[in-house]
Chains A and B, each alone.
Chain A
Amino acid sequence: MSPVFAAPSREGRSVTPVSADRRARLAMYLALLCGYIAGMGTDPLASYQLAAYLGACLWSLLLEHRVRRAFFSPHVKIGLIIAGSVLFITLVSRSAPPQEDFAGTIGRFLFWNAIVFVLSRSKSEYDLWTLGIIDVSLFMISAAFFQPTEFLPLFGLSCALLLYSFMRAAMVSAGPAETRQPSGAAPALVQLALMALLAASVFVLFPRGAFTAAPSDAAAARGTPGGVAVPPDVPPEPPPRLRTGFSARADRLDLADLATIVHDPQPAFELQAMAEGPEPAFRSGDAVYLRGWIFDVYREGSWTSEPGFRKIADADDKAEDEWVEFPVPRPPWGFVRQNLVALIDMPEVVPAIAEPMRIRGTEYRIDPRGMILAPAPALKGTQYEILSAYIPHDASQMLPPSAAPAPMPPHLTELPPELERVRNLAAEITEGRTTMRERIEAIRSWLTDPARFRYLTVGFETPLGVDRIEHFLLVQRRGYCMHFATAMALLARACGIPARFAAGFHASKPIRNPDGSRGVYVFRLADAHAWAEIAVDGVGWISIDATPPASLVREATSEDAPPSAPEEASTPTATEVSEGAPAKAKRWDHWIVDFNPMLQSDAARRVFGTFRRALDAALSPRAWILLLSTLAAGAAVYALLPTPQRSRVRQLLSGFRDRSSVDFYQHYLWLAARRVPRKPAGWTGREYADLARRALPADAVEWITEKFYAVRYGGATLDAADRAVIDGMLRKIEAASGKNE
């Protein structure tokens, strides 16, 4: 029960202390403003709502306090809230808006209620609680849907203002009306600091891994999260993995495999490419996509190959110096000859510029989809000579408007039934687009919109029962190339366009030779990339890179790095590469938005490691020696001090009598039995006690207090010697009093 005192107003109405205290209300209104700024997203009504809110706050803070009269009575308040609720339910029930719009509708409803509460009359602590709940709800909407970079500063500011507001309201409500109370800022700051510490501990140590999807038995056997049915022909042993994250066996790619992409500057391939054939052909200096892996079946967060397509054809013609030919369609953009050198030991997949037509060598196997498989994993230094029918990476923009999807098997155009929301999303994105080219461009523009999606090198956890890409498209909206490529492929399939997932390496430009000419392309492990491919009638598979362009900054900077010493190149780190965003935003993404169980365990290990190191340091002999020597030095200084200063040190150490001057005076009165009141006229008791404390040695205070206890409770009596001592003290105090006067 918290009593609410009421002060009479000029009109005879009563005003609650919260209504009379503008500081509490101002803090609460600002806290709510922070919540709205964080949670408004791209609400088109933001400016109008903000204007209405600021007007309401000004009314409340200026006029309500002055005239003690608010805009709304409680009955009007309840009526307005009910009206807003009815309107909200009607709007929501008439049309099922997309999630973001739904969140915006809830945010508007909450903000409407906030304005009503701000304008209502005679606010109490109950109203502040309601506003606080509205504020937290706005932040929850912001966290779930909009996730602005400034979320944390706004949230911290809002928490501080909320705490101050509650602190202030608690004090003014508990005291008599219109009594001046302390500010309350200091305890609110202390509470904020403690709360931040505890919240950070909960955030880091909460066992969030226990709530994510548990790996199935087969997945656990492979060491990958996410339960995916394993084809019977897949060997049970875990496949060897590249540092790029791609599986060396080329038969499966689980999007959950990569939690974090680690920038590895190790050179993997060196490519020399030359154009062949009619224009438009490959030009040295173009960006190069070196395709290695192709997947065409997406199921539950994993890419695999359709069993019928994974029949590996042995193209060995037993001729040592002959080419191995691939039966692929010939696109109209000429040819490109490639000399590829493996700079590290590589798996059996041989990457090449699409579409590879033939490769020099023996025992190569081919996949009709365009993959080249070497007879064995290649050792460092292995060379390949490949001829490809060149398809530019921006081929989709060269297509005529009448370009149509190529007829393909149904598994390349169908979505799994559980991705109905992705299908709806695709329909929403391509609404009004009729041709294939327009649809593809609409999807790519939508995915590469920096206001909607962000490129991150850190993976994310998926809730139980939710598809990873659906979560990426509708909730997370942060990911790396695999997520964007998969999303592009699935959205294209949802529009009826055959699409598949391709992975390999990407380089934007070749490195420059010392003479200024363009040289070879060097692909590093960090250049691993993924993109989508769509099938165009009469052309074949053309690549569509839907990853936001900011992620490809590193490729643009790699041209000046000498191939022989890539480790010394001044290339930025992977995190820096992943975004052109400032370091603050990157830290925010790394430590907050994309904080996952792996980072969590890492952070926990660091914290415990720090504690352990501190403990080890504290228990080390050196620390003990330092501590003992400090204590010995302190004891020596103490022993050398004169008695009064020694007593003062004892007082300081024990905290004794530091604030007990009044007690001393009180005890003194008792002990001296009516002989003491020689207090100078006009002096308060505290001043007299302070005077006594200054006039007497510190141990005298202890002595007289002990004597007081002995007389008052222990049945002791004062003998003549004691009385003489007390008389002496009185004289000293009197003398000091005269000096002070």
Chain B
Amino acid sequence: MPHLRFPESDRSDVRGAPARVLSRRFRLQPRGAVFLVLAGAVGIAAAQRGNNLLFVVFSALIGLFLSDAILTLMSARKLDISRILPEMVHGTQPFSVTLRLWNRKRLVPLVRVRIEDRLSQDGRWAALQPPPVIVPYGRPGRKVRSTFSVSVHQRGWARFGPVTVTSEFPPGLVACRVTLDIQDQVLVLPRPGVISRSPQTSLAGRLAAVRSLRDLASTGDEFAGVREYRPGDNLRRIHWRTSARLPQRLFVRELEDTHVREAIVILDTFLPNPGDLRGRSRLERAISFAIALTSALLEEGAWVRFRAAFPESTEMALDPSRRMLSDLERALALIAPSLSPVVSDLLALSSPNPEAFTFVLLAGDAPPALPERGVTIPADEMRRIMFYAS
């Protein structure tokens, strides 16, 4: 599909340059404030009484506070972080994100470092943020890996970053938050839908029709080769001669399909008001349904021509090997609503097989609204066209 281009993930795990520090904030913890008040009280008592041993205690308390602050600041320096993400994920399905924290310092270890990642989509922070990760200990000069699980509901690019690393050197009287500019993105594919196989539905009937074509094809007359037996294969197709040569294994004949089984799936993305949340929800359902339907059709052995506005009216041809299904998912992950009706254009695209079943998935309205979208379908074609409203 040379006409569809997908941007690459900008992956931090293979980037060589260290992460840029966006901000560095030093914060007094509540327990640190209480500690300082107590130390001040001891100091006042020591000064008032002129007691040097109380001065020793006071000095130790202040020394502990200062050493904690210094070590916290030092441990928050020279940090680098990278993120290991899958290239793409399905919506609503949890996936693992690995953060690799590199303590570039030569002497100071990391003790109890808290890492918080941020997730955003479409320029907005996601409602469900990744959980914080706590690294108990990081040796100087070594890398520490931590993994958390997260799920994204909305398709499209999900952007991770920036990462906030909070250092609290024990006993944790102060904290230093360092925000590192480490941006990664992962492509979130539409969440897969589920096709109801209930025989009462019209869709089931169409799929059954496709299946009958497949069964017909499986009894085709042109020998294409042999393959190993898989459960469900017709026992009549066992190739006994080959099976006899290789004991313990069964082989079946593969016959070339000479019948044309083709389906056309048209996805209508017309959404006149992009701010309409209900309409967006319908569109998302339509996209999920489109993928599920296409997958089911491919599973039934049909060739599928998928038509949608990407944003130009485009047709993708998918063969039953399902190799192109991931490309379709990537394309649908980034598809945007169309502001103008496109169903008529998609229907008008020429088809090499006039007998192909056509499934039209409407993002918004039901079939009676078709005339409003400028769709006029001849009566003889209506028998092979099915409309589904999400």
B-binding residues in A (CB < 8 A): 2-3, 129, 132-133, 136, 139-140, 142-144, 147, 151-152, 155, 159, 163, 166-167, 169-175, 179, 181-182, 184, 186-187, 190-191, 194-203, 206, 208, 211-212, 460-464, 471, 475, 592-595, 655, 659, 663, 666-667, 670, 705, 708-709, 712-713
Contacts and interface: CB of A to CB of B under 8 A. Distances in A.
B30 to A, nearest CB: 11
Interface in B124-172: 134-137, 139, 141-142, 168-172
23 contacts: A2-B134, A129-B31, A132-B171, A143-B51, A143-B56, A144-B51, A144-B53, A170-B170, A171-B136, A174-B135, A184-B111, A186-B109, A190-B107, A191-B67, A194-B70, A195-B67, A198-B63, A198-B66, A208-B50, A461-B50, A462-B50, A595-B52, A713-B17
B53 A663 contact: no
Interface string B40-66: 001101111111111111111111101
A208 B47 contact: yes
Contacts of A194: 63, 67, 70-71
The winner among B45, B47, B52, B142 for most chain A CB atoms within 10 A is B52
Main secondary structure on B side of the interface with A: helix
Given A144-B49, A170-B112, A155 B67 contact: no
A140 B54 contact: yes
B48 A2 contact: no
Contacts of B171: 129, 132, 163, 166, 170
Contacts of A147: 53
Contacts of A202: 58-59, 62-63
A160 to B, nearest CB: 11
B241 to A, nearest CB: 39
A167 B50 contact: no
A175 B48 contact: no
A518 to B, nearest CB: 44
Interface of B: 14, 16-17, 31, 38, 42-43, 45-64, 66-68, 70-71, 106-109, 111-112, 134-137, 139, 141-142, 168-172
A211 B46 CA distance: 10
A709 B16 contact: yes
B185 to A, nearest CB: 17
B53 A199 contact: no
A212 B48 CA distance: 7
B50 A152 contact: no
A166 B172 CA distance: 9
B112 A136 contact: no
A152 B58 CA distance: 13
B188 to A, nearest CB: 26
Contact of A592 (B38, B52, B67): B52
B116 to A, nearest CB: 11
A136 B57 contact: yes
Contacts of B139: 182
**3 tightest A-B contacts by CB?**
A199-B63, A143-B53, A211-B47
B24 to A, nearest CB: 21
Contact of A151 (B14, B53, B61, B66): B53
Given A3-B134, A175-B136, A198-B62, A663 B16 contact: yes
Contacts of A143: 51, 53-54, 56-57
Contacts of B111: 167, 170-171, 184, 187
Given A166-B171, A198-B63, A212 B112 contact: no
A688 to B, nearest CB: 17
Contacts of B136: 170-172, 174-175, 179, 181
Nearest to A589: B52
A139 B64 CA distance: 15
B50 A140 contact: no
Nearest to A194: B67
A2 B112 contact: yes
Contacts of B68: 191
A476 to B, nearest CB: 8
Contacts of A179: 136
Contact of B59 (A167, A175, A200, A663): A200
B148 to A, nearest CB: 13
Contact of A174 (B31, B56, B63, B134): B134
B112 A171 contact: yes
A618 B102 CA distance: 38
Contacts of A163: 64, 170-171
Given A140-B42, A171-B111, A708-B16, A198 B52 contact: no
Contacts of A712: 16
B31 A594 contact: no
Contacts of A184: 111, 137
Nearest to A199: B63
Nearest to A599: B52
Contacts of B47: 208, 211
Contacts of A463: 48-50
A432 to B, nearest CB: 32
B112 A155 contact: no
Contact of B55 (A133, A142, A159, A208): A208
A658 to B, nearest CB: 8
